Amino acid sequence: MSNKYTIVFRAEGNEDRVVTAGETILEAAKKANVPLDAPCSGNGTCGKCRVKVLSGESESGQTRHISREDYAQGYRLACACEIRSDMVIFVPPSALAYQNRIKISGGEREQAVFSALREELRTLGFTGDSGLEILGLTLSRPDLGNPIADRERLLMALETLRGEGAPPLGLSLHAQRKLPAALREGDFSVTCVLRRGAGEDLVLNVFPRGASNPVIAGLAIDIGTTSVSILLLDLLSGEPLALGSAGNGQIRYGADVISRIIESSRPGGLERLQRAVIDECIDPLIRALCRKGGIDSEDIYRAAVAANTTMTHLFLGVNPAYLRLEPYVPAFFEGGTLRGIDTGLFLHPDAEVIPAPGIGSYVGGDITAGTFSSGVYKKEALSLLIDLGTNGELVFGNADFLMSCACSAGPAFEGGDISCGMRATDGAVEACGIDRETMEPALRIIGAAGQKPAGLCGSGLIDLIGELFRCGIINARGKFIREGKRVCRDEWGMAGYTIAFAGETETGRELALTEGDIDNFIRAKGAIFSAIRTMLVSLDFTVDSIEEVYIAGGIGSGINVENAIRIGMFPKLPLERYHYIGNSSLSGAYAMVNSRRAAGKVTEISRGMTYLELSSHPGYMDEFVAACFLPHTDGGLFE
Amino acid sequence: MSNKYTIVFRAEGNEDRVVTAGETILEAAKKANVPLDAPCSGNGTCGKCRVKVLSGESESGQTRHISREDYAQGYRLACACEIRSDMVIFVPPSALAYQNRIKISGGEREQAVFSALREELRTLGFTGDSGLEILGLTLSRPDLGNPIADRERLLMALETLRGEGAPPLGLSLHAQRKLPAALREGDFSVTCVLRRGAGEDLVLNVFPRGASNPVIAGLAIDIGTTSVSILLLDLLSGEPLALGSAGNGQIRYGADVISRIIESSRPGGLERLQRAVIDECIDPLIRALCRKGGIDSEDIYRAAVAANTTMTHLFLGVNPAYLRLEPYVPAFFEGGTLRGIDTGLFLHPDAEVIPAPGIGSYVGGDITAGTFSSGVYKKEALSLLIDLGTNGELVFGNADFLMSCACSAGPAFEGGDISCGMRATDGAVEACGIDRETMEPALRIIGAAGQKPAGLCGSGLIDLIGELFRCGIINARGKFIREGKRVCRDEWGMAGYTIAFAGETETGRELALTEGDIDNFIRAKGAIFSAIRTMLVSLDFTVDSIEEVYIAGGIGSGINVENAIRIGMFPKLPLERYHYIGNSSLSGAYAMVNSRRAAGKVTEISRGMTYLELSSHPGYMDEFVAACFLPHTDGGLFE
pLDDT at res. B114: 80
Q: Which residue, among B16, B8, B94, has the nearest Cα to B53 in the 3D structure?
A: B8
Torsion of CA A481, A485, A487, A488, to 10 degrees: 130
Contact B318 A184 (CB under 8 A): no
Residues of B within 8 A of A329 (CB-CB) are: 142, 147-150
Cα B94 from Cα B452, distance rounded (Å): 16
Contact B149 A199 (CB under 8 A): no
Interface mutation target, options A173, A195, A319, A352, chain B, most CBs of B under 10 Å = A173
Distance from the Cα of A256 to chain B's closest Cα (Å) equals 22
- In the DSSP assignment, the letter for residue A13 is T
3-state secondary structure B167-197: CCEEECHHHHHHHHHHHHHCCCEEEEEEECC
- In the DSSP assignment, the letter for residue B451 is P
Contact B177 A319 (CB under 8 A): yes
Count other C-beta atoms under 10 Å from residue B260's C-beta.
25
Buried b (16+ CB within 10 A) or exposed e, A52-91: bbeebebebebeebbeeeeeeebbbbbbbbebeeebbbbb
* A96, A252, A335, B151 from A274: Cα distances, Å: 19, 13, 16, 20
Nearest CB among A149, A197, A333 relative to B152 is that of A333
Contact B149 A338 (CB under 8 A): no
Distance from the Cα of A606 to chain B's closest Cα (Å) equals 13
> In terms of CA atoms, which chain A residue is nearest residue B182?
A331
Name the pLDDT band for A196 (thresholds 50, 70, 90).
very high
Distance from the Cα of B152 to chain A's closest Cα (Å) equals 6
Domains of chain B are: 7-96 (3.10.20.30), 117-122+216-365 (3.30.420.480), 131-208 (3.10.20.880), 375-407+528-633 (3.30.420), 412-520 (no CATH)
Nearest CB among A146, A151, A329 relative to B150 is that of A329
pLDDT at res. B604: 97
Name the pLDDT band for A555 (thresholds 50, 70, 90).
low
Distance from the Cα of A364 to chain B's closest Cα (Å) equals 12
Nearest CB among A148, A199, A349 relative to B198 is that of A199
Cα A103 from Cα B350, distance rounded (Å): 36
Contact A144 B336 (CB under 8 A): no
Nearest CB among B149, B333, B360 relative to A330 is that of B149
Contact B332 A171 (CB under 8 A): yes
Contact A349 B336 (CB under 8 A): no
| Burial environment of residue A160 by CB neighbours within 10 A (0 to 12, 13 to 18, 19 or more) | exposed
pLDDT at res. A384: 97
Looking at this protein, which amino acid is placed at residue B562?
Answer: E
pLDDT at res. B626: 94
Higher pLDDT, B214 or A56: B214
Mean pLDDT of A179-204: 95
Contact B180 A319 (CB under 8 A): yes
DSSP for A532-598, written as a single string: HHHHHHHTT--GGG--EEEEESSS-S---HHHHHHTTSS----GGGEEEEE-HHHHHHHHHHHBHHH
Residues of B within 8 A of A330 (CB-CB) are: 149-150
Q: List the single range of A285-289, A564-568, B13-17, B356-360 with lowest mean pLDDT.
A: B13-17
> How many Cα atoms are found within 13 Å in the side-chain-facing hemisphere of B621?
4
Nearest CB among A142, A151, A173 relative to B338 is that of A173
pLDDT at res. A418: 87
**Under DSSP, is residue B269 helix (H, G, I), strand (E, B) or coil?**
helix
Question: In whole numbers, what is the pLDDT of chain B averaged over residues?
Answer: 89
pLDDT at res. B100: 43
Contact B329 A184 (CB under 8 A): no
| Burial environment of residue B356 by CB neighbours within 10 A (0 to 12, 13 to 18, 19 or more) | buried
> In terms of CA atoms, which chain A residue is nearest residue B141?
A327
Backbone angles phi and psi of B576, in degrees to 5: -70, -15
Backbone angles phi and psi of B365, in degrees to 5: -65, -25
Contact A176 B330 (CB under 8 A): no
Between A and B, how many residue pairs show a Cβ–Cβ distance under 8 A? 135
Q: Which residue, among B636, B506, B499, B502, has the nearest Cα to B571 in the 3D structure?
A: B636
Distance from the Cα of A205 to chain B's closest Cα (Å) equals 14
Interface mutation target, options B315, B332, B341, chain A, most CBs of A under 10 Å = B332
Mean pLDDT of A438-454: 91
Strand ranges of the sheet holding B217-223, from the earlier edge strand across to the other edge? B103-105, B240-247, B227-234, B217-223, B300-307, B352-355, B338-339
Residues of A within 8 A of B200 (CB-CB) are: 198
- Assess whether pLDDT exceeds 90 at residue A492: no
Distance from the Cα of A198 to chain B's closest Cα (Å) equals 7
Q: Which residue, among A535, A549, A605, A607, has the nearest Cα to A581 in the 3D structure?
A: A549
Nearest CB among B180, B199, B339 relative to A331 is that of B180
Cα A35 from Cα A98, distance rounded (Å): 8
Contact B332 A149 (CB under 8 A): yes
Cα B5 from Cα A447, distance rounded (Å): 55
Cα B344 from Cα B341, distance rounded (Å): 5
Q: Give the tens place of pLDDT for each residue, A201-245.
A: 999 999 999 878 899 999 999 999 988 999 999 999 998 999 998
Mean pLDDT of A606-635: 91
Contact B342 A338 (CB under 8 A): no
Nearest CB among B181, B326, B339 relative to A144 is that of B326
Cα A90 from Cα A96, distance rounded (Å): 11
Residues of A within 8 A of B345 (CB-CB) are: none
Contact A180 B341 (CB under 8 A): no
Cα A590 from Cα A374, distance rounded (Å): 12
- Report ipTM (2 d.p.): 0.86
B192 φ/ψ sector (left φ>0, alpha ψ -120 to 50, else beta):
beta
Cis bond before residue B180 (omega within 30° of 0) = no
Q: List the single range of A304-308, A627-631, B444-448 with lowest mean pLDDT.
A: B444-448
**Under DSSP, is residue A305 helix (H, G, I), strand (E, B) or coil?**
strand
Contact B173 A338 (CB under 8 A): yes
**Under DSSP, is residue B234 helix (H, G, I), strand (E, B) or coil?**
strand
Q: Which residue, among B210, B164, B171, has the nearest Cα to B191 in the 3D structure?
A: B210
Q: How far apart are the first and last CA of chain B?
A: 57
- In the DSSP assignment, the letter for residue A364 is -
| Burial environment of residue A525 by CB neighbours within 10 A (0 to 12, 13 to 18, 19 or more) | buried
Contact B330 A611 (CB under 8 A): no
Cβ-proximal residues to A211 (8 Å cutoff; 6+ apart), any chain: none
Instruction: Evaluate the CA torsion angle A187, A188, A189, A195 in order and state its sign.
Output: positive
pLDDT at res. A102: 64
Distance from the Cα of A289 to chain B's closest Cα (Å) equals 26
Residues of A within 8 A of B195 (CB-CB) are: none
Distance from the Cα of A537 to chain B's closest Cα (Å) equals 20
Torsion of CA A521, A527, A532, A534, to 10 degrees: 150
Residues of B within 8 A of A326 (CB-CB) are: 144
Mean pLDDT of A359-373: 95
Contact A332 B152 (CB under 8 A): yes
Backbone angles phi and psi of A373, in degrees to 5: -70, -25
Tell me the H-state helices in A186-326: 257-264, 269-277, 283-293, 309-316
Cα B502 from Cα B511, distance rounded (Å): 7
pLDDT at res. A99: 40
Higher pLDDT, A19 or A550: A550
Distance from the Cα of A208 to chain B's closest Cα (Å) equals 15
Contact A180 B322 (CB under 8 A): yes
Name the pLDDT band for A36 (thresholds 50, 70, 90).
confident
Count other C-beta atoms under 10 Å from residue A156's C-beta.
14
> In terms of CA atoms, which chain A residue is nearest residue B331?
A150
Residues of A within 8 A of B170 (CB-CB) are: 336
Cβ-proximal residues to B231 (8 Å cutoff; 6+ apart), any chain: B107, B110, B114, B219, B220, B240, B242, B243, B586, B589, B590
pLDDT at res. A287: 94
Are the CB atoms for B320 and B310 separated by under 8 Å? yes
Contact B176 A361 (CB under 8 A): no
- In the DSSP assignment, the letter for residue A280 is I
pLDDT at res. B541: 94
Are the CB atoms for A388 and A561 separated by under 8 Å? no
> In terms of CA atoms, which chain A residue is nearest residue B270?
A177
Interface mutation target, options B154, B155, B176, B190, chain A, most CBs of A under 10 Å = B176
Contact B149 A333 (CB under 8 A): yes
Q: Give the tens place of pLDDT for each residue, B322-350.
A: 999 989 999 999 999 999 999 999 999 99
Cβ-proximal residues to B603 (8 Å cutoff; 6+ apart), any chain: B334, B357, B368
- Assess whether pLDDT exceeds 90 at residue A423: no
Give me the residues of chain B with pLDDT under 50, please.
1, 98-100
Contact A142 B327 (CB under 8 A): yes
> In terms of CA atoms, which chain B residue is nearest residue A143?
B327
Cα A463 from Cα B260, distance rounded (Å): 69
Residues of A within 8 A of B173 (CB-CB) are: 316-317, 338, 342
Residues of B within 8 A of A316 (CB-CB) are: 173, 176-177
Contact B144 A198 (CB under 8 A): no
- Assess whether pLDDT exceeds 90 at residue A334: yes
| pTM for the full predicted model | 0.86
